[in-house]
Structure 1
Amino acid sequence: MKPIINIKSISDINNFVQHRTSHPLVTVIDFSKMDEIMEEGTRVSCDFYSIMFKNYCANNMKYGRQSYDFQEGSLVCIAPKQVVTMDTEIEKKEDMMGWGLFFHPDLLRGTSLGTKMKDYTFFSYETSEALHMSDKEKEILYDCIQKIETELRENIDNHSQTLIVSNIELLLNYCQRYYGRQFITRNNFNRDILSQVENILRKYFNSEDLKKNGLPSVSYLADKVNLSPNYLSDLLKKETGMNAKDHIHHHLIEEAKNILLGTNKSISEIAYELGFEYPQYFSKLFKQKTGNTPQEFRNLN
């Protein structure tokens, strides 16, 4: 396995593709003008955010353990410190088309966008879910990119950061909207994932895994359906109104109700049986979800 290439700064990536650095914390790169092509299997980690739009059919990229469905007209958003692997070699350099926006977290320090970045969960989608866009959507994002490029070509002044960050935020908000649209238009895929999650949880709560390992985690569920935790939670939220953690708790509470009404076991015994190390945590969660303590629920029924 090849060592990871760590690209620390915006000037580093500009130097790599022989692009002039106009701003130390942000750059826009036209892929059609790139002279360098990374070899197959090259692994790269950047200390900044990367948003890449590809308008040609060529290679795939691996992000985490999964391959991106990085086809013509698709976009990926990658958070700092994530490792990307160039999976297959680009056949013809002249076929390369698209753009990349790269910006360092320091650009966002002290701005409203800096506090909102955690809300853009698509930066943590580690699977084959690139964003596929219509021609109109591509034009809207490219308009944001052009505005950022225009600012980068101007002399940096007191307004530069505000205008650049505002256009990055606008672009991210459009990405959030388009991902929401993509969730809606993939109903068959979403329903299949929902069915898988329900089956996985049903089997888990009916097995010895609960007693041995405690509650299943969101990461456990995501791994079982080959999705990242954030993508799975967002998908379930769009489909059912409940995120992945809510689904786990729903199955837990239903199982707890069955035991409370079907046995004479103490609350502590039930808590341990459901994988809780401390019974008070079980009681607190049960009341939070039902409005009653376990004992109150038992008495009422």
Structure 2
Amino acid sequence: MNTIKSDQEVPVFSLEHDPVLPGKLFSMKHFEGVRPHQSELLVPHRKDYYLFVFARRGGARFWLDMTSHETRDNTLYFMGPNRVVVKEEPKCMWGTALAFDKEFLALHDNVSLARLPIVLNVQNASELQLSEANVAFVEDMLAKMQKEFDEPGEWQQKMITASLTLLLTYLSRVYNEQYESFTPSNDKSLLKKYQAAIEVNFREIHQVSEYAALLYVSPGHLRDVIKTQSGKPAIAHIQERMVLEARRMLFHTEYSLKEIGFDLGFSDASYFSRFFKRETGLTPAEYRALTREMYQ
């Protein structure tokens, strides 16, 4: 598996400039034994959009964050923006991919999509096992959507939105069945806002009180609500997000510990190392060595 050198940035692909699935706001593509141009995908990178891939045939291997996946037949793979992904080798693809970005979700007709469990993906899952009935439904919907996508017309946008809503609603039901510990609830709006704020600011803001100010609530109220709604202290959400990013960089890049710590807002590399060991039980150097050894 390739890594990013210390003098390079982890590339970020927008939907419009994606090497395999280019589009504006929304895109989809059917692959039937095709080996697309994938050289850019063989190094760690991020996508700034939502990606759903229905794999009719498996056999390809890729890494999502620090987890290796061997694709399986008739399985749905999905991810949201900013996760680090890398393919191990170029292989032919059989299946259908669809993608949309945050601007697409912000359109008036699409706002409800952002609240669906499979789009929110609070479990940070990446695949759904599909039954024969699920496969039949997904294939039928994707075929209809592909037909609309390939034949632009006055009603194209509305038809795609309607079909996508039905497809993702159906898949959200499957998602909840497989990851049933998550039950959507309207009373978790503050938790969602808190998590969204952390996603944007975790490199610069490390204190619960500062997030409370961003969300216009008192620190005490934020701590109480987050603890009740998530079962974890509010500070744990910040620390877990920082650790996740540190793990990604230790695994996928050759950045020095000082560079990683600085990227995460630590002015002192030794402080970063103590923080990481406190949260994981390993120093950053030990974690990098262990994961590289496991991969080999």
TM-score for the superposition, normalised by structure 2: 0.52
Write out per-residue CA displacement over residues 55-77 of structure 1, whole angstroms, 9 at most, x where no aligned residue: 22323333233334642221122
What is the match of residue 115 of structure 2?
118
Task: Kindly report structure 1 stretches of 4+ aligned residues shifted beyond 4 Å.
Answer: 38-41, 125-129, 218-221
Q: Which amino acid aligns with 1:35?
A: P
Displacement of 1:131 in angstroms is 0.3
Q: How many residues align?
A: 187
Indicate yes or no: 2:14 matched with 1:8: yes
Q: What corresponds to 2:135 in structure 1?
A: 138
Q: SS in structure 2 opposite 1:71?
A: coil
Retained in 2: the 8 A contact 1:8–1:48?
yes
Distance 1:49 1:129, change over 3 A: closer
- Structure 1 Cα separation of the partners of residues 54 and 85 of structure 2: 15
Aligned-partner Cα distance in 2 for 1:168–1:219: 36
Residues 68 and 129, structure 1, Cα contact 8 Å, conserved in 2: no
Is this contact kept in 1: 2:10–2:44, CA < 8 A?
yes
Q: CA deviation at 1:5?
A: 2.7
Instruction: From the CA coordinates, give the structure whose radius of gyration is larger.
Output: 1
- Residues in 2 aligned to 1:179 and 1:53: alpha-carbon distance in whole angstroms: 14
Unpaired runs of 5+ residues, structure 1, are: 185-213, 229-301
Q: 1:129 to 1:217 in 2, by over 3 A?
A: farther
Q: Match of 1:176?
A: 172
Contact 2:55 2:71 in 1 (8 A): yes
1:121 CA displacement: 4.5
Aligned 8 A contact 1:49 1:103 in 2: yes
The whole-number CA distance in structure 1 between the counterparts of 2:27 and 2:34 is 14
8 Å contact from structure 1 (residues 54, 75) kept in 2: yes
State the distance in 1 between where 2:104 and 2:126 align: 27
- 1:29 paired with 2:29, answer yes
Q: Residue 11 of structure 2 aligns to a residue in which SS?
A: strand
State the partner residue of 2:94: 97
Q: Counterparts of 2:142 and 2:56 in 1: how far apart (Å)? A: 15
- Residue aligning to 1:107: 104
C-alpha distance after superposition, 1:133-176 (max 9, x if no partner): 0222112112211222111222332x222111111111101111
Q: What TM-score, normalized to structure 1? A: 0.51
Q: Specify the alignment match of 2:279 in structure 1.
A: none
Q: Which runs of 5+ in 2 are unaligned?
A: 181-223, 245-296
C-alpha distance in structure 2 between counterparts of 1:109 and 1:40, whole Å:
28
Distance in 2 separating the partners of 1:122 and 1:9: 17
Structure 1 residues 21-78: Cα deviation after superposition (integer angstroms, max 9, x where no partner): 7x63222122333432347852222222110112223233332333346422211221
Deviation at 1:183, TM superposition (A): 4.1
Instruction: Give the Cα–Cα distance (whole angstroms) in 1 for the partners of residues 52 and 27 of structure 2.
Output: 11
CA RMSD of aligned residues (A): 3.6
Q: How does 1:1-301 map to 2 (within 5 A)?
A: 1-2=3-4, 3-10=9-16, 12-13=17-18, 16-17=19-20, 24-31=24-31, 32-38=33-39, 42-68=43-69, 70-86=71-87, 88-89=88-89, 93-94=91-92, 96-121=93-118, 123-124=120-121, 129-157=126-154, 159-183=155-179, 216-217=232-233
CA distance in 1, matches of 2:145, 2:96: 12
Q: Is the 8 A contact 1:61 1:85 kept in 2?
A: yes
> Cα deviations across residues 175-220 of structure 1 (Å, max 9, x unaligned)?
1111233347xxxxxxxxxxxxxxxxxxxxxxxxxxxxx9743895
Q: Distance in 2 between matches of 1:44 and 1:76?
A: 17
Corresponding residue for 2:289? none
Counterpart contact for 1:78–1:123, Cα < 8 Å: no
Give, in whole Å, the separation in 2 of the partners of 1:219 and 1:137: 39
Q: Call closer, same or farther: CA 1:162–1:103 in 2, change over 3 Å.
A: same
Fraction of identical pairs, as percent: 18
CA distance, structure 1, for counterparts of residue 60 and residue 160 of structure 2: 30
Question: After superposition, what is the alpha-carbon deviation per residue over 1:218-238, rounded to whole angstroms, capped at 9, x for unaligned?
Answer: 8959x99xxx9xxxxxxxxxx
1: CA distance between counterparts of 2:44 and 2:148? Answer: 31
Point out the more displaced range, 164-173 or 62-71.
62-71
